Amino acid sequence: MQRVNPEHLRAIMEMINQGPYFVLLNMEVTDLGVGYCRVECDLEKKHWNPFGTVHGGVYTSLIDTAAYWASYCEIPEDAGYTSLDVQVDMLGVCQNGHLVVEAKRIKVGRSVAKSEAVIKDSQGRIVAHGTSKQLITQGMQTINHAAASIGYSDLPPKFISASAGGGD
């Protein structure tokens, strides 16, 4: 039986948090594990729509990102995946502060994964909820492709055998 390598997760979070879109939106993956992801975002005026509140596209990007990574630990090491669709319900508005997005995997199958995410504002109010469905691809859009595209060095292996770490 395989388990996820904690060194791989640390390297992945460091790598993806340097991605241009993550930097643009001030979003950061702060926790990543089997069936779970947490993303945080410090809001600025650049996140606003013309009415002075956070644009729905920001909520959608945050939900898609967190939901996407919530499934990551359960796909094969040589597989990649890409979002098929994102459904978001805007449930509140905010202008500034800190957003926390928590996502949980609903199901990971052989070809499709689905996760859900909730965004809370600085006061703990839910401002958006959504789901994201991903197509699991063999050999396309793998994490190694992502690493190569930004010139990142080799990543630690994604999985380690249960017997290698002292057994659980």
For residue 50, the enclosing domain spans 2-154
Structural domain tally of the chain?
A: 1
Q: How far apart are CA 19 and CA 70, in angstroms?
A: 18
Domain assignment present for residue 52? The answer is yes
The series of mean pLDDT values per 10 residues for the chain, 168 residues long, is 90 94 97 98 97 97 98 94 96 96 97 98 98 94 86 88 55
Nearest to 96 by CA among 28, 38, 48: 48
Domain assignment present for residue 97? The answer is yes
CA distances from 164 to 20, 34, 168 (A): 36, 19, 10
Q: How far apart are CA 62 and CA 79, in angstroms?
A: 23
Domain assignment present for residue 140? The answer is yes
Q: How far apart are CA 81 and CA 69, in angstroms?
A: 10
Would the pTM of this model clear 0.85, i.e. be above it? yes
Domain assignment present for residue 163? The answer is no
Query: CATH number for the domain including 58?
Result: 3.10.129.10
Domain assignment present for residue 35? The answer is yes
Domain assignment present for residue 159? The answer is no
Domain assignment present for residue 167? The answer is no
Domain assignment present for residue 120? The answer is yes
pLDDT digits (tens, 9 = 90+) for 49-82: 999 999 999 999 999 999 999 999 999 988 999 9
- Reduced to 3 states (helix: H, G, I; strand: E, B; else coil), residue 21 is helix
